[in-house]
Each structure stands twice: as structure tokens, then as C-alpha cells.
Amino acid sequence: MSTKRVGIIGAGQLGRMMALAGTPLDVDFVFFDEAKVSPSSRLGEVIHPSQDNALEAFLEKVDVVTYESENTDTDLVERICKSVPVYPGADSLRFSQHRLTEKNKFRELGIATAEFRKVTTKDELVDAANELGLPIVLKTTTMGYDGKGQAVVKVPADIDSAWETLKGNELIAEAFVNFSRELSVIAVRDTQGNTQVYPVAENDHSEGILRISRVPAKQLSAEKETQAKHYINMVLDSLNHVGVLTLELFDTENGLVANEMAPRVHNSGHWSMEGAYCSQFESHVRAICDMPLGSTKQRQSHAAMINIIGKHGDKASVLNTQNAFLHLYGKEERSNRKLGHINLVCDSEEQLETNIQSFTDFVNECG
Amino acid sequence: MSTKRVGIIGAGQLGRMMALAGTPLDVDFVFFDEAKVSPSSRLGEVIHPSQDNALEAFLEKVDVVTYESENTDTDLVERICKSVPVYPGADSLRFSQHRLTEKNKFRELGIATAEFRKVTTKDELVDAANELGLPIVLKTTTMGYDGKGQAVVKVPADIDSAWETLKGNELIAEAFVNFSRELSVIAVRDTQGNTQVYPVAENDHSEGILRISRVPAKQLSAEKETQAKHYINMVLDSLNHVGVLTLELFDTENGLVANEMAPRVHNSGHWSMEGAYCSQFESHVRAICDMPLGSTKQRQSHAAMINIIGKHGDKASVLNTQNAFLHLYGKEERSNRKLGHINLVCDSEEQLETNIQSFTDFVNECG
């Protein structure tokens, strides 16, 4: 038996769930992270980057490296690539961590995006507002997530405060997209170029944080389903991506518009742990370890994921619900922190909505 | 968040699967086992009994203790009980690890068993053969598993060799039970006395080792299903059992006959990992950690488990089957060793049998 050893840069809940999914496939995990205690630290050795010869020690213990975040240091990944394969590769990382590069890539592939302008001065922000028309969203080109690093300019008077909030960063101004809902599509690609795509998820956000994902997205036309799958396959192939990739989409009257991508497993794919035959975590591990891909099909017709944010809430209510599955990350409570999630699997939309309704406290009172 | 800390005596595949099931419920695990590398050792700290003050160190790190094997030292459990709760309790352990005590308990509860005699001398063996009628099975009263510690006396001439093989042990002679198949029923009981029972499994053995479990058992009458559930509930309550318990049964024309019990999760319940809403491993963790019990219902109408024994076999064939799930234990290949299992979930018996057929190499060529 040749146990495969996977190194993960980061040791948060995504690493934890990858390790829980990969261990039954005889894959061992080593984490590269500064935290002494972390969601992943019960599931494998953690090497702290500040230790002497940390990187060398890490690389000696692994056959392949992956990462938890699109904000992973590209220089570090380039260095690792020289001795150990890193999946997804440096290209996937570079295009995901810079909003301008990312949007240009989408355009090049014929994937619809919001209109956008690069903004380096306040004058350019004024020009962008005039050319794109208000409202616009001003964003840092790097490091933004969960609504951080963003400011909305609704009226010309907002320009000053938006500029003051974000100046000093490289910025992008994006035209407002008139969308009915947010969707995401998640897919996996192996080293031979085979791909598998999960059903499109419909995502409810509040205060910039994902609260609920439903799968499949309600009443999504076959045309849009096909468009989502075409988009993500274009991105996967153009980046020669290996592993899981997520594409966030806006649903509009004129079709789907790409918002951003993440070269990793994604919060909107957590439903797949019990909802699909092969979860996004197992899919990622299989792909980067050169194993055959699993099936991304749903096991029951409907699934949902509800985030547990800020407070742990009434755990017993989840455990007492037959078709609910509790996934905690071993983290302390803190405002806006993702502490875990609840997965639901059902045979009808009606039952799913009834279940979601019974857990509204997790969505409304936590935060 | 109050992370619960479970100590497990033993660090094999059962501990590994308990830890994989309990981690998402924010339960941490510490193992008490001599092996330096074991199936559980990636999933929590392992304390070696030979270390100085090993037991004290172990007990300081846990809130509750459980064990992997019915052969766990009862003296050790009695000592631990004085400072930390042990579930299942010492009674469950005592009655499970001694075939005579166990059978007397079954009789006392009105549960059918084979006729039996205690055997301490060769003369008593001859008497037992006469009284019970041949064939009989001679077994050690303790430590037998997977067909070890047993000898069959088919004709009077077998008595000498059976006696030579097993003498020196405390022995029990059991009348032969004319059964059509072997079944097992698994249930869980919490500290308040609530119970949940899994559907009855049908088990195929070869060379004394479980090869395939199918759930539900084929064409089991409602009467026998009820009898199985009644039997196991009687045992659970009479022992004030907390956690999972397994009852092995013979299916006969005159109803179900109890063979033996195990105070633990069981190989014939591994199907529940993907086959039931709450797996036997999660059920056990919930019960011993004072959490509400989950549902033991099947998620799809049919499930099966195929053991991977001796050799790992064609892993890719499992990964390439949509409704098959691979569970490896991280063990080296060795004859007759349980290295992992394949779980199958299906919506029809026909599909299940087709799937099982496609994996016959795992049953026939491994060993």
C-alpha cells in the first residue's frame, strides 16, 4: 500500500474537511500554518513556517502540495513547484488572486463579466463612475473576501468616502450588475484533463457572508445550466487546472455573468459532503493524488447548506433532525466567524424549505 | 464551545472510524494503545500503556472512555471507572467476553440460544457430545474471534483432536444450530435509556471471516425483524448499556437464535457510514458524549459492505463506481487481515447484486 502524503498550505476548516475526506482513501496530511491550534491540527502534523528550515521539513514529508486560500503567496508556490508538484498550479492561483487579471481572463475566454475599469487615482474613479454609470462597486484588486475591501458608490457624493476607505490599494471599479440571484458552479479536473461538474448552487448572502446554499438552484433553465458548465470547463482547461475550482456567477435576464473564481473547494460546495456521491473535498484529494475522479451527482434530489456563523447556536436541534448533518470546525465563537455548517438532504423542495425554515435561527440570530 | 474529549482503549480501524465520525461534532480523541503506528494514530494523540504514568496521563486528557474490543481488560476498565465514566460499562464488557456468562444472560432474558454445556475435562466433552448430539462446536469461553479458538466435532473420532487443540482453556460445547443464514442487529442506547436500532444485516462469512453484509437482510419476515429488535432492546436495557451494541443471530425455521454479542460498533455495521442517516460510529460517539441520538434509518433502500481482506486489490475499480465508497484503514497487507471495506448504496436489490458481483475479486482472491 503506497500511502500518498498531501501537504496543505493553511490549516483551517477547508484543510480539516479535506483530511477527513482523504483519510479513508489512505492519504495522509501535513499542514503548513503558523497557528498552534487550528481546525486541521487534530488531523495531521502542522509545520509552522517560522520554524528553522520549515519549508524543507514540510516538503520532505509530502508527495504533493495544495492550498486552502486564493491568497496563498505565489512566490512560495513557485519555490515549492521546483521540488514538489503543487495543484492547482501557479497559473490558477495568479489569475484568482487579482480581480483585474481574472476579469481579463474571463473576457478572453468569452465569459460575460461586469464592465470594469482599473482605478489608480481619484480622478480615474470619477471617470469610471461617469463611463460605467452609477452605482459602481469599488474593490481592491487583491485580498478581498466576504465583503471586505469593497465600497459601493451609489451617488456621486459617495465617491469621496469610497476613495478614502480604499485608497492606497490597487483598485478596480465594476459596473453594477442587475442580477436576480447569486449562483456558483464547482468542478474538478484531474491531471489527464478529465472533468466533473457539480450541480449549480444558489447562494443567499447577508452582510457579505454566505448564509445558505441550495442545490440545485431553483428553476434554473437548462440553457443557463449548460452555460455555467461551459464557463467553468473553459476556465479549467485554459489554466490547465488540477483540483477543484469554483466560479461565482450572477443570474441575469441576459444570461450568467461571472463574478469571481476561487482555485479551491468552496463554502457553497459544502452540501456535497452528504449531498453528492463524491464530496468536493474527496474530489479535490482524488484529483491532486492522481486517483480516478468520483461522481459529482446528487444522492437525493435536493440539498442545502446553512452556515453557522459567530455563535454555535442550538446544536441539539440539528442532531435531532433526521436529514440534517452537523459539521463543526473546532473554532471559538467570534463575530462573523464561520464556525461550522449544517447540511440537509431531501427528496423534495418542499421538505428542504421546511427544514431550512426550522433552522432560521442559525441565519438570523448568529452573526 | 465545549469540545468533548473521548479516550479510546485501542487504536485500530474502529477507533479510526469513530474519530472520523466524531471530529465534525467537535469531539477530540486520545488513544490508549501500544502500537507506534496504527490506523488511529493520524487522528489524535496515542498514549502507550508502557510509558511512565500512562494511565494517569491518558485519563487527564479525556472526559469519557470507550474501547474498541470486547477483549479489553475488565480490571483496567474497573480502575478507570473510578475517575472517568467508561461506556459501555463494565457489565456490558463482562457479559460479552465470556461465552458461558453471555449465554446464561441470553437465557435469563428469554433469548433463544444453542443448547450448551460447560466443558472442563475430556470426559465432560464426551458427555456433552452425547447429551447435545453431534455435531457440536467446542469453543474457548474467552478471546475467540473470526473463527479462532474453535473446533468442530462432527463424528466421535473428532473428539480427541478437538480436545488436543483447545485443552488448557475454559471451554463451552455448543449444539449445532441448523440455520439458513447469519444475521446481525446493531443498536445504540444513550445515558437516558433511549434506543435506536439499525435494520437487520445479512452476513456472508468465508473461512470464519465476514466477507459481505447486506442491508436489509433479504426477505426477512416482519416477525423476525421484530424479534431481533426485541432481543437487542432486552440486552441493552438489562446491561444498562450506553453506546452501540451488536447481536449476532442465526436465522432458523423456529425463529432467531442468538449467537453472540459485542459491546461495540461492528464490522457488519460499516455499511451505515453512507447507508444510514447516522452511522454506527457517529451513533456511538453521540451516545457516550451525551448528545441526542441520530437516525438509524437507511438513506437508500439497499446497502452492502464488502470487506477488503489480505490484499488491497483493484482500488481504481471501486473509485470508478459511482455508488461505491472506499474506506481504507492504513494497514499493511497481510493474510486474513482486514485492510478496509467497500460500501455500496443502491435503490434496488438488483442493482446492489450487480454491484456486489462486480467486486467478487475482493471476496474471492483476497484473503
pLDDT tens readout for residues B259-291: 999 999 999 999 999 999 999 999 999 999 999
CA A282/CA A279 separation, integer angstroms: 5
What pLDDT shows up at residue B307? 97
pLDDT value for B207: 86
Chain B residues within 8 A of A277 when measuring between CB atoms:
322-323
Name the residue among A292, A299, A332 with its Cβ closest to that of B320.
A292
Rounded Cα distance between B356 and B343, Å, is 10
CA distance A23 to chain B (A): 8
Residues contacting residue A157 through CB under 8 Å, at least 6 positions apart: none
Task: Quote the pLDDT of residue B144.
Answer: 66
pLDDT digits (tens, 9 = 90+) for A234-279: 999 999 999 999 999 999 999 999 999 999 999 999 999 999 999 9
- Least CA distance to B46: which residue of chain A? A42
Look at B319 and A16 and tell me if their CB atoms are within 8 Å. no
Task: Indicate which of A5, A18, A20, A23 best probes the interface with B, i.e. most B CBs within 10 Å of its own CB.
Answer: A23
Pick from B1, B44, B277: CB nearest A42? B44
Helix, strand, coil percent values for chain B (each to nearest 5): 30, 30, 40
Comparing CB atoms, the residue among A42, A294, A345 nearest residue B23 is A42
* Distance between A122 CA and the closest CA of chain B, angstroms: 46
Chain B: closest CA distance from residue A196 (Å): 12
Kindly determine whether residue A1 and residue B26, on different chains, have CB atoms separated by under 8 Å.
no
* C-alpha cell read off for A259: 463574478
What is the per-residue pLDDT across B12-35, written as a single tens digit (0 to 9) for each?
Answer: 999 999 999 999 999 999 999 999
User: Phi first, then psi: what are they for B303, rounded to 5°?
Assistant: -145, 155
- Sort out which chain A residues have CB atoms less than 8 A from B26's CB and list them: 328, 330, 340
Q: What is the mean pLDDT of chain A?
A: 95
The pLDDT score that the predictor gives to residue A361 is: 87
Q: What is the tens place of the pLDDT at every residue in B284-318?
A: 999 999 999 999 999 999 999 999 999 999 999 99
Task: Return the pLDDT at B146.
Answer: 60
Find chain A residues with C-beta within 8 A of B320's C-beta.
Answer: 292
| Among B residues 288-327, those touching chain A with beta carbons less than 8 Å apart | 291-292, 294-295, 297, 299-300, 312, 315-316, 319-320, 322-323, 325-327
Look at residue B59 in the predicted model and tell me its pLDDT: 98
Q: What is the mean pLDDT of residues B321-336?
A: 96
What domains lie within chain B, and their CATH numbers?
Answer: 4-86 (3.40.50.20), 115-175 (3.30.1490.20), 181-364 (3.30.470.20)
How many residues in chain B?
Answer: 367
Residue A148 pLDDT more than 70? yes
Collect all residues of chain A within an 8 Å Cβ-Cβ radius of residue B43: 23, 42-43
Whether the CB of A2 is below 8 Å from some CB of chain B: the reply is no
Burial (CB < 10 A; 0-12, 13-18, 19+), residue B350, is exposed
What percent of chain A has a predicted confidence (pLDDT) above 70?
98
Question: Which ipTM value was assigned to this complex?
Answer: 0.94
Q: Does B2 touch chain A (CB under 8 A)?
A: no
A363 has pLDDT over 90: no
> Chain A window 37-66: which residues touch B at a Cβ cutoff of 8 Å?
42-44
Task: Report, as an integer, the average pLDDT of A199-210.
Answer: 94
Q: Residue A257, class by beta-carbon neighbours within 10 Å (0-12 exposed, 13-18 middle, 19+ buried)? A: buried
Full-prediction pTM beyond 0.90? Answer: yes
pLDDT of residue A102: 96
B159-179 pLDDT per residue, tens: 999 999 999 889 999 999 999
